[in-house]
Amino acid sequence: MTRVECAARRRRRPEIPAVWNLESRARGPVAVRRRAEVDESRRAVSLPASVLSELYEHARVTAPEECCGLVVGTDRQPYRRAVRCRNVMTLMHSRAPEQWPWDNRRGFYMDPTDYQPWVKGESADGERVTAVYHSHVGAACYLSSVDLDLVDLSQFPHAEQIVISVGEEQLAAGIFHREGIGHPFVGHPVVVAAP
């Protein structure tokens, strides 16, 4: 991507794609939503206890709003540490409610000032963004149709996606990856890595 294309991408106002496909049925239109689920039969992905604890703590203290952030690492340690980001979806909604019909309780939009240092790629010590995380409060670990649409508009479309489910008494996580833009996300369960 050229410098001009990169600058244009940063300046453009994100647009929300249509997320509802309406099918005509005998009883009228029916909304069909797509989403990516965790497939419990797939190989579990191990995250270090320190990273998983940080994600869970961020989700817990942010509830009932969604939390969001980045996981950074290297080729040898892809999940080295979490970087918390502020969720500014409510602010986006207040500025453009038709474009951003959700608030922090129903969606997330990472504050660009929080992730800007990572847009250029690797840090001096070789760390890069390996995953984007967010929470679902009172819902399971899945990528919603809105999540799926927004991934390609994000600054990190190639990163894995981690979703933390915040229940009344327990937390759970799922991780989603794909072979490239345009390919479907595949969901894996998350387990604590052996020390």
pLDDT of 58: 98
Query: What are the E-state strand segments in 138-185?
Result: 142-143, 160-166, 171-177
Residue 119 lies in a domain: yes
Over the stretch 79-130, which tens digit does the pLDDT of each residue have? 999 999 999 999 999 999 999 898 999 999 999 999 999 998 878 788 999 9
CA distances in angstroms from 71 to 35, 168, 188, listed in the order given: 22, 25, 16
Band the pLDDT of 33: cuts 50, 70, 90.
Answer: low
**Mean pLDDT value across the chain:** 84
The tally of domains found in the chain comes to 1
Question: Looking at the predicted structure, is the pLDDT value of residue 27 above 70?
Answer: no
Q: What percent of the chain has pLDDT over 70?
A: 83
Residue 162 lies in a domain: yes
Residue 5 lies in a domain: no
Residue 171, C-beta contacts closer than 8 angstroms, at least 6 positions apart: 56, 59, 60, 164, 165
pLDDT of 28: 40
Averaged pLDDT, 168-194 = 90
Band the pLDDT of 34: cuts 50, 70, 90.
Answer: confident
162 or 169, greater pLDDT: 162
Averaged pLDDT, 43-52 = 96
Question: The domain containing residue 43 runs over which residues?
Answer: 34-192
Check which CATH number belongs to the domain holding 90 and give it.
3.40.140.10
Residue 126 lies in a domain: yes
* Most trustworthy range by pLDDT among 14-28, 30-44, 71-85: 71-85
Q: Are 85 and 115 in contact (CB under 8 A)?
A: yes
Model pTM score: 0.81
pLDDT of 113: 94
Residue 88 amino acid letter: V
Residue 27 lies in a domain: no
Residue 160 lies in a domain: yes
Residue 39 lies in a domain: yes
Residue 72 lies in a domain: yes
